[in-house]
Amino acid sequence: MSQVILFDLDGTLTESGEGIINCVQYALEKLGKKEEHPENLQCFIGPPLKEQFMKYAGLSEEEGEKAVVYYRERYTTTGIFENRLYPKIPELLELLKINNKILAVASSKPEVYVKQILEHFQIADYFTAIVGSELDGRRTEKAEVIEEALRRMHLEEERDKVLMVGDRSHDVQGAISCGLQCIGVAYGYGSREELEKAGAVYIADSVEDLGILASPNDEETTENVESVRNIIPDREKVKKSEIPETRKLEKEEKEMPEPEKKKKKFRYSTAGQIWRLIYPFLIHYGATLLATIALYLVYLIQAGGLQETASAGQRLINSTLYVTLIGDLTAAMILYLFYRKDQMHRKEGFSGTGKAFVWAPPVIWFSVIILAIATGQFLNDLINGLHLNDLFTGYSEVSEQAFSGQPVGLMILVVGIIGPICEELMFRGIVFHRLKDWVKPQAAIVISALLFGIYHGNVVQFFYATCMGVMLAIIYDKTGTLWISIVAHIAANLWSLFGSSFWSSLWQQIPAGMLCSIMIEILLCVIPTYWLFGYKRK
């Protein structure tokens, strides 16, 4: 299945017919064309309003525009809330995000209303882009909306990765005209025949059937359909007289006893949550300890036995990078198993609402690399400017001992690649994500960064690693992919090894060079930050 999925709103995510029909009746009555049979107004759900008013009531373009004004007169205050999510839509969206799908909304409804509705039902955060028409009547055709969604996500040249989901023929036709395939939903306001005739590649009879969207291949289709069916117990279908599904769930949670509420949210006691944060460190520490013991025994045997402990000990000190390599590789393999287990638990409804992989164009990856390098260089300059290495000599001694005389290739492998992968698995993939299951994301970012700093074991690296940990956690939380934080970590470490000293030496020969260097570094932090956090809002 496609990596990027565009959803229609009315009739696909939300059952909005009641509000739309009531507002159409209101507008027609204001125009002196009262409609006594609301079932005849189903055709207004989905298509652009002005054109549909003109077609249905034989209005001129000017009268059609007036009808839209009357429609919105009621819709903005009342009709927008005569609406409900289809049952299990939140569970479907959660499943798709966990399975690394990028979601967006492409609706002919005015964008301001689309955002308001998604925020009202608390599902806006699932979507990378939310696109609709303009209030002034521009961009009402479905194809125009889809093209705008592709533009905002920088996917104009990647159409084969994108799939549309909608309930009416104009959704299908709009997708086809943009070079996309479309899945039709027969539980909405269009019939199976309408969707098939328009060219839908598949018809979903229920929200559960959309579980196929989570599948990377056909073999997983059945499994993913069942995932949506089984995420929560079946509920009775919502009647028009009932409150919206999300409000119903909120009411149920408020009425739930406090112990049950805690169980539902955390699933672990406080001691259990703390243990889940501690044992990844014990795994890494244990792997490093075992690597140290194993290598020491090898050197001891090679040296001729127990009488040569001093010689074996010195060789071990000179082999710090080899110990780190073995320990990090071993720990990374074990930690990856726990990381995958956590991901599977979340897929089954585990506590927390972690985001999933968000695809980004090359400029975003490039921005991450520049941000990581600039942040690392800024922190190194700050450490040098504050003379922290002179005040706290522990780091200088450790780095001199570890790196002196070591092969460049080994330093690149251990410090530049394996180390960042292991640390990102542990600190962002496991610890940060588990903190998010327990506390607010902002607190999780700070706590995980502090733990990252403490784990480095000296004052200088505590300062550097804590600040970098905040940046890496924010990047991971924003993009939802561990790969981006790994790439950022690798870039920062490699720059510290081979680029930082060269950069600093360039500015030492220039008056006020340090100030200029810091200003450039700040600029190189700000620009990538804009691309990372601002590009989706274009």
Q: % helix / strand / coil in the chain, to the nearest 5?
A: 70, 5, 25
Q: Is 518 helix (H, G, I), strand (E, B) or coil?
A: helix
Q: Is 536 helix (H, G, I), strand (E, B) or coil?
A: helix
Q: E strand or H helix at 529, and its extent?
A: helix 513-534
Is residue 160 annotated as a catalytic residue, yes or no?
no
Quote the CA–CA distance of 327 and 282 in Å, as a whole number. 12
- Closest C-alpha to 164, from 206, 97, 210: 210
Distances (CA, A) of 525 to 140, 370, 517: 38, 7, 12
- Closest C-alpha to 195, from 176, 212, 215, 213: 176
In whole angstroms, how large is the CA radius of gyration of the chain? 29
- Which string of DSSP letters, residue by residue, matches 410-462? HHIIIIIIIHHHHHIIIIIIIIIHHHHTTS-HHHHHHHHHHHHHHHT-SHHHH
Quote the CA–CA distance of 49 and 170 in Å, as a whole number. 13
Residues 6+ apart with CB under 8 A from 77: none
Distances (CA, A) of 536 to 235, 252, 503, 526: 35, 35, 33, 16
Task: Name the catalytic one among 8, 10, 209, 381.
Answer: 8
Q: Token pair for residue 226?
A: 């069942």
Quote the CA–CA distance of 60 and 65 in Å, as a whole number. 9
- Which string of DSSP letters, residue by residue, matches 156-224? TT-GGGEEEEESSHHHHHHHHHTT-EEEEETTSSS-HHHHHHHT-SEEESSTGGGGGGG-SSGGGHHHH
Q: How far separated are the first and last CA of the chain, in Å rounded?
A: 27
Q: Which residue has 């585990």 as its token pair?
A: 350
Q: Is 5 helix (H, G, I), strand (E, B) or coil?
A: strand
- Which string of DSSP letters, residue by residue, matches 252-315? HHHHS-HHHHHHHHHSS-HHHHHHHHHHHHHHHHHHHHHHHHHHHHHHHHHHTSGGGHHHHHHH
- Chain-centroid distance of CA 467 in Å reads 22
Quote the CA–CA distance of 326 and 303 in Å, as a whole number. 21
Quote the CA–CA distance of 367 and 297 in Å, as a whole number. 46
What amino acid is encoded at 127 in this protein? Answer: F
Burial 467-493 (b: 16+ CB within 10 A, else e): bbbbbbbbbbbbbbbbebbbbbbbbbb
Distances (CA, A) of 309 to 298, 336, 453: 11, 36, 33
Catalytic residue numbers, as ranges: 8
